[in-house]
Amino acid sequence: MSTTLLQELQGELRRLYIAGSDLAADDFRLKRIEPKFAQLGERAPVFKKLAEGLAELTGPSEAEARASKLQDVSLLLNSVLSTQGATAAEGLKEEKLQESGLTDLTTAHSYRQLAEVQNALSTSGGGRYEIVTTAHRDGLFRDLRLFPFAMKALNDPYAELADYAVRYILPSYGPVIVPYLLAGLDIQGGREQERRLEVIRKLGVDAEDARTLNLLVKAAEEGSDKVRAAAIACLGSHPDFEDRLIEWSLDKKKPVREGALAALAVRNSEAARDRIYEAFTGKDAMPAAEAVGAAPAAEMLERLIPLYAEKLRQEYTGEEDRKSKDKLWSELEPFTVAFRYAKHTELERLYLDLGANQSDYPALGRLDYAERFRTLSQAAGYLKESDTEEALEVLYALEEQSPDFLPYAFHATKSRRSPAELYDRYAGSGRGLLRTAVSKKAQAIQKKLIETLHGEIHVYENYVRRRLPQETIETQWDPRWLDWVIDRNDLELVSGLAAPGHPKLLPYLEKQIENTSNSYYEHYIFVALDAGGYDEETKYELLMRWMENRDWKKVYSIYHGETERLIRIPARFAAEAADRLEPLIVHMRFENLKETMQEVVHSLRKKAASDE
C-alpha cells in the first residue's frame, strides 16, 4: 500500500475543517474510506484506530463531541504521515509499521492531552521544558501520535530540551526506533545528527544487524567530525571493530579520537585498556578521562587509582607560581573526571585517607581553593554513600574544616542516624538553636544548613523539583524541624516539612497570606495547607483571602495552579466564591487575566447551579 489512502483522508479532513465538523455526520466520502482502513487494521492497530475514529466521526453525536473527534482523528493521521515521511527514504512503508514495534504504543489519550505537548515541541518560548518533562513522566509519549514530535525534539532550539529527549524520551521507546533514527541521518550534519547517534549508542545495536553496522561505519568514515565521533562511539560493544577503534583513537582530528576512546572504554579488552592508559598519560588525558568516566570498568580503575595517589603524594621543590599550579591541576583534573561515577574499594581507601590525612598529600595543599575543594568534595561525595562509621568520621572532620562540606556529612548522618539524632546534631544545640547567627562562621553554617535542607526535602525528578511524600516527611524527619524553619521564615521549607497537628503552622501561613502578594509563593502556601490536613472551609477561606489581598493592578498573569484550586472549590462554597471573585476583575489591567477570571467565575456559578 502507498500513502495515497492516508493523503486522501487528510484532504477530506481538511475539507471538514473548512466546512465545519457538523457535516461529517453520514459523510459518504468518509464512509467510503472507513472500510479500507478497517481492512488495514487487521494488520496494523494504528489503522484500526483510524477506522474507529472515522466511524465515531460520521456516526450520531453532539456537535462539541464531533469537533473533538475530528481533532483526534486529524492528530493521529498527521502523526502517522509524519512517521511515514521520516522512514520512507529507507523503505519503511505502511505495511511495515507493525514490524517496527511502534504499534505497541497506544492512541488512548485525548487530543486535549496531547495538543499542549505537540505545541510545545512545535514552537519556541518559555515554559515548554516543564510541559515536555511532565508529559514524559506522565507517560504521554507512549502515545503513537507524539512519536514524530519526540523525533522532532532532537532539533529543538532549546538545547536542554533536545538533550532531555536524547537522555530520556527517545531511549524509552527501545531499540525499535534505531531504523527511524538512521533513516533521517545526514552524515554531513551537525548537532541534531550527533544526537541521533547518541540515542543509538544508548540503545545499542544488535551484532547481527549488519545493515545498521554498515551505516554506522559509513558515518564513521565519511561523516562530519561530530558525526564521525558519535558514530564511532556506537561501535564499542562489537569486537570486530576493535582494531579500527584503536586506529581511529590515533586520528589527527580530536573529535574522532574522543569517539574512539569512548568506544574503547566500553570495549574494555586488554588492548583497549592499554590504548586508553596510553592516551590518559599522554596528550589525550581529558578525552580518555571522559571515556573512563562514562564506562568505569574495574580493570581500568585498578590501573588509574595508584597513579592518582602517586600524583597527590608528589613533593614539589620548585618555585610556586601560577604556571606550576596550572600544570599540577592539568595533571590531577583528568582523575576527577575519570572517577565521577566510579565505585571501587581501592578508591574508597584512597578517599578515606585523603580526607583524614591531607598533609600526607602535598599536591593537595598546592591547589587553589576551588580545585582543592573540587578534589575533596569528590571524595566526600563518594564517602557519603559509604555505609561505614569511618567514612562518617572523615566527613565530620571535613565539615569542621569548612561549611562547604556540611551537605555531605548531613546526608550521611541522615542515612545512618535516627531523625532525632540528625536534628540534635545540626539544629538542637549550640549554633543551630540561634535564630540569627552572630559570627561569620555561624552565619555560613546556618546558610549552608538551610541550603542543604532544601536539597534533601525537595527532590528532583527529571529536572522538576517535587515535595517528598507526606509519609516520608513524617517518618524520616523529626517534627522539631518544622518549628526550626518557621522561626527562620523559610516558606519553601515550611511547605516541604508541613504535617498535621502543628500549632504554629496555620498562624504562620495566615501571616504569609496577609503579607505576601507574589504569586510565586501561592504554591508553597497551599501545598502546606494541604499537608497540614486542614478542613475544606479553612482552605477555602484562606484561598479567598489570598485572591482578595493581591494587588491586581500589578499582576500580569495567574498561575495554572491558582486557577485549578479555584475551579476545585467545593460546590457548597462555589456561589459565594464567584461573588467574591467577580469584583476583582474590575481591578485587572490585562485582558487575558480578566478573561481567565471570568471563566473561573462562570465555572463556579455553573457548579453552584448544578449542586442545587
The CA-atom distances, in angstroms, between 253 and each of 181, 214, 226, 258, 582 are 25, 22, 10, 9, 67
pLDDT: which is higher, 25 or 485: 485
Structural domain boundaries, residue 119: 1-143
> Does any domain span residue 435?
no
C-beta separation of 274 from 255 below 8 A: no
Residue 228 has pLDDT above 90, yes or no: yes
Q: Cα separation of 196 and 238, whole Å?
A: 19
pLDDT the model gives residue 259: 95
Q: Cα separation of 479 and 427, whole Å?
A: 12
What is the average per-residue pLDDT within 304-324? 91
What is the average per-residue pLDDT within 223-236? 93
pLDDT the model gives residue 484: 95
Beta pairing partners, 465: 460
> Does any domain span residue 568?
yes
Q: Cα separation of 49 and 79, whole Å?
A: 13
Q: Cα separation of 537 and 545, whole Å?
A: 12
What is the average per-residue pLDDT within 422-438? 74
Q: Cα separation of 126 and 238, whole Å?
A: 42
C-beta separation of 491 from 512 below 8 A: yes
pLDDT (tens digit, 9 = 90+) per residue, 554-574? 887 787 778 889 999 999 999
Nearest to 256 by CA among 227, 235, 280, 236: 227
C-beta separation of 419 from 480 below 8 A: no
Distant-in-sequence, close-in-space partners of 360: CB < 8 Å, separation ≥ 6: 313, 353
pLDDT the model gives residue 357: 96
Q: Cα separation of 117 and 133, whole Å?
A: 10
Q: Cα separation of 591 and 418, whole Å?
A: 54
Domains identified in the chain, total number? 2
**Where among 89, 114, 143 does a domain terminate?**
143
291-309 as b/e: b if 16+ CB within 10 A: bbbbbbbeebbeebbeebb
What is the average per-residue pLDDT within 315-339? 92
- The secondary structure of residue 166, as a DSSP letter, is I
- Amino acid at position 426, single letter: Y
> Does any domain span residue 423?
no
**Where among 89, 119, 143 does a domain terminate?**
143
> Does any domain span residue 31?
yes
pLDDT the model gives residue 37: 86
C-beta separation of 276 from 291 below 8 A: yes
> Does any domain span residue 542?
yes
Q: Cα separation of 474 and 450, whole Å?
A: 19
pLDDT the model gives residue 329: 96
Banded model confidence at residue 86, pLDDT cuts 50, 70, 90: very low
pLDDT: which is higher, 5 or 187: 187
pLDDT the model gives residue 206: 85
pLDDT the model gives residue 464: 56
pLDDT the model gives residue 179: 85
> Does any domain span residue 514?
yes
**Where among 143, 158, 189 does a domain terminate?**
143
pLDDT the model gives residue 224: 93
C-beta separation of 411 from 369 below 8 A: no
pLDDT the model gives residue 234: 93
Share of the chain above pLDDT 70, in %: 91
**pTM attached to this predicted model:** 0.73
pLDDT the model gives residue 88: 36
pLDDT (tens digit, 9 = 90+) per residue, 68-83? 787 778 778 877 776 5
Phi, psi (rounded to 5 degrees) for 445: -65, -45
> Does any domain span residue 488?
no
pLDDT (tens digit, 9 = 90+) per residue, 231-270? 999 999 889 999 999 999 999 999 999 999 999 999 999 9
Residue 89 has pLDDT above 50, yes or no: no
The residue written with cell numbers 538533550 in the block is 163
Distant-in-sequence, close-in-space partners of 493: CB < 8 Å, separation ≥ 6: 450, 453, 454, 457, 485
Question: Mean pLDDT in the chain?
Answer: 87
C-beta separation of 170 from 142 below 8 A: no
Percent of the chain that is helix, strand, coil (3-state, to 5): 75, 0, 25
Q: Cα separation of 155 and 165, whole Å?
A: 10
Residue 122 has pLDDT above 60, yes or no: yes
The CA-atom distances, in angstroms, between 591 and each of 94, 302, 443, 557, 603 are 47, 66, 46, 10, 18
Residue 159 has pLDDT above 70, yes or no: yes
> Does any domain span residue 311?
no
Residue 218 has pLDDT above 50, yes or no: yes
pLDDT the model gives residue 91: 34
Residue 343 has pLDDT above 90, yes or no: yes
